[in-house]
Amino acid sequence: MSPPHLRSYQDRIQNHSNPATRALLHVMVKKKTNLSVSVDVTRKKDFLAIIDAVGPYICLIKAYHFLFRHQVSAYEPDDKTHIDILEDYDPSVIVELQALSQKHEFLIFEDRKFADIGNTVALQYSSGIYKIASWAHITNAHAVPGPSIITGLASVGLPLERGLILLAEMSSKGSLATGAYTEDAVRMARARRDFVIGFIAQHRMEGIGARDTDSLGDEDFLILSPGVGLDSKGDAMGQQYRTPAEVVTECGCDVIIVGRGIFGTGRDIDVENVQRQAQRYQAAGWEAYEKRLAI
């Protein structure tokens, strides 16, 4: 059997039992897109305008709830505000995000990067102000706490048909997510394929860290890759960019994650330009995927 990344997204649906994975692959096939847009902006108006503009061209929106500033009264403790920076957050943001998800047929990926013990992350995922599990189809986590983080998140997410992405590699210069860390992250995922659907990574992960007793015949993890750009190779903060061809065709990744390359600074949005850039990245990502299948 050929490696999973050399098979079509349509054919790979049968490899997955997790509903979030199957839904994402269905959307990718239907819309002919492997583009995810990372909307890291600080104003509700810009956040929703970008999502509405790129919606027709994407399979996944990557949101980050820490960018949402909860409006608190003067009597509420300050520790409720240090985690987020969206200047005008209110609960309607999530309602409108869900409406856009249905309107444009994309899934929501909350870039939460959980990194605590199982009981704590279960509460963070299910409760509090944001109740992430109630609206995000997919979320992610660091592997640092060990397998208990998956157990905790799965106790909340599985009944809601959610999926989890583990951070196996990162696109920033000098990242420590390499070697033994990456191998251990993949081993953790391999043990919980009912809930862990893939990785944030720069390359394919099948077979990484495998032991002699592991069964790898049907292993198929989705690889979501950030740090994708058509016009820049990096920024002043250590981000490194690769082209869709490098990411999808050469390295076998499944979803390209693009942010500033589509919407720039995120202020005073030029909707027409955002749409043009989204179309440009959608076309480049899909062309890279089709070239991969032809190899």
- Rounded to a whole number, what is the distance in angstroms from the first to the last CA of the chain? 15
* Distance of alpha carbon 40 from alpha carbon 260, whole angstroms: 8
Consecutive 10-residue averages of pLDDT for the chain (295 residues): 92 97 98 96 89 98 69 36 51 93 97 95 93 96 97 98 93 76 95 97 91 82 95 65 96 96 84 96 98 94
b (16+ CB within 10 A) / e for 27-46: bbbebebbbbbbbbbbbbeb
Please give the DSSP secondary-structure letter assigned to residue 160. G
Catalytic residue among 30, 113, 173, 233: 113
| Residues β-bridged to residue 166 | 141, 199
* Distance of alpha carbon 195 from alpha carbon 66, whole angstroms: 24
* Distance of alpha carbon 47 from alpha carbon 274, whole angstroms: 12
Q: What is the pTM of this model?
A: 0.90
Active site includes 113?
yes
